[in-house]
Amino acid sequence: MKTEVDLVDVVGGNLGSVRRCLDRLSVPYNLVNPGHPPDGSRPIILPGVGNFGAVMANLQKGGFDKMVKHLVAGGTPYLGICVGLQILFDWGEESDSAGLGLLPGKVVRFKQGKIPQIGWNRIECPDVQQDEGNPWPSGYVYFVNSFFPEPENNKDVLYTADYFGNFCAAVRRDNITAFQFHPEKSGPFGQTLLTRWLESVSAISAKAHLSGGGKC
């Protein structure tokens, strides 16, 4: 049975493409928002496209941001996509505003090249993030981004890419995984990454179901 996930619908953007990808993978999902919040019993996917500050403002309605932060800090698996990655950090240059602060670091703007970066780029996984006997593969994924994260801890970097210099393209720490690129728009390789994440959190999800989740 596929792991059921909670898909955050408060930020709009690429919600539709993520839903279609989950449908293709036969992954059941629940839409969650300030009126229908997650309880921590299922992994959370937070997709987002657009302005860092606007996304945070939407999440802050009804204290939804604090709820998500509480659940993730408590161990609920989290997958962020695009701005869903950026808001994990302390601060974003785009709106000069605070993020969730779940990972130390900041989000800054590209200084060179055509901005935003739009198109396919190759991602590489540093050795520190490779699981023994189960490596994270390299490949080409689809980006649409003007900003990228600068984690304070290099061990949080899951993937890097090169756009007029190396930048952090994905992060991973404990129950947190997030992609700056769009795996749902990156063909079979992107779907492989989503499947890998789902497999990695299935045991955590099963344990959460048995224990009744991590309700606030």
Min mean pLDDT across 4-13, 49-58, 76-85, 110-119 is at 4-13
In a domain? residue 156:
yes
Q: What is the C-alpha to C-alpha distance for residues 124 and 64, in angstroms, rounded to an integer? A: 34
In a domain? residue 207:
yes
Q: Sign of torsion, CA 184 195 141 103?
A: positive
Question: Which of 4, 94, 184, 199 is an active site residue?
Answer: 184
| 176 φ/ψ angles, rounded to the nearest 5 degrees | -105, 125
Q: Which of 92, 146, 142, 140 is nearest to 117 (CA)?
A: 146
In a domain? residue 216:
no
Task: Determine whether 125 is an active site residue.
Answer: no
pLDDT: which is higher, 13 or 165: 165
Question: Which of 21, 82, 125, 168 is an active site residue?
Answer: 82
Check: pTM over 0.85? Answer yes or no. Answer: yes
Question: Which of 93, 150, 182, 216 is an active site residue?
Answer: 182
Where in the sequence is the domain holding 157, given as residue range(s)? Answer: 5-211
Q: Specify the number of domains making up the chain.
A: 1
Task: Determine whether 184 is an active site residue.
Answer: yes
Q: What is the C-alpha to C-alpha distance for residues 7 and 9, in angstroms, rounded to an integer? A: 6
In a domain? residue 124:
yes
70's CB contacts (< 8 A; 6+ apart) are 216
pLDDT band at residue 11 using 50, 70 and 90 as cut-offs:
low
Q: pLDDT digits over 192-211, tens only?
A: 999 999 998 886 555 544 44
| For residue 215, pLDDT beyond 60 | no
Task: Determine whether 82 is an active site residue.
Answer: yes
